[in-house]
Amino acid sequence: MTNDEAMERALALAADAAADGEVPVGALVLDADGRVIGEGRNARGGQTHDDHAQPDPLAHAEVLAMRAAAARLGTWNLADCTLVVTLEPCPMCAGACLQTHVGRIVFGAWDAKLGACGSIWDIPRDPHVGHAPEVYGGVREAECARILADFFAARR
């Protein structure tokens, strides 16, 4: 799956989140052969829990996708994997990328308020970090930004 195709799928996951009233961000993890091994979308309302009722403020798309990928691979180490996400990861998710040693981060829209992969902070490339994932931003940027803008416009 190419980055472009993966982002198409991540956008569909983001749309699922929006349908649930969640901020529309979608993510997936590709293995070394480009196969999808984990998916996630924002679910702070608790939609990923079995009882569908336990709020989870940390249930960002990236965290859920990397958890699913680790479960699928049977290891926490995602060094051969690529995280694809519609929005530039926040500090928590960029930190989560360091914990998983994910090899590459591909994101869509830049986040001028909370972006931690180059916009406000640059956690993956912080000189204190031994492990530095490759980072590619701006993949299908306009579509990724639009789904967020539409969501917040509708809530106003």
Q: Which residues bind Zn ion (CB under 5 A)?
A: 60, 90, 92-93
Helices (H), the chain: 3-19, 61-73, 91-100, 141-155
The answer to whether 93 is annotated as binding is yes
When the beta carbons of 40 and 103 are compared against Zn ion, the nearer one is: 40
Query: Per the residue annotation, which of 8, 22, 39, 62 is the catalytic one?
Result: 62
The one-letter code for the residue type at 26 is G
**Of 73 and 92, CB closest to Zn ion:** 92
Whole-Å CA distances, 121 to 11, 95, 98, 125:
24, 11, 14, 9
Residue 146 corresponds to which amino acid? R
Q: Rounded to the nearest whole angstrom, what is the least distance from the CB of residue 92 to Zn ion in the complex?
A: 5
Task: Compute the least distance from the CB of residue 93 to Zn ion, in Å.
Answer: 3
Q: Is position 62 annotated as part of the catalytic site?
A: yes
90 among annotated binding-site residues:
yes
3-class DSSP state of 35: coil
Q: Which residues are annotated as a binding site?
A: 60, 90, 93
Residues designated as active site: 62
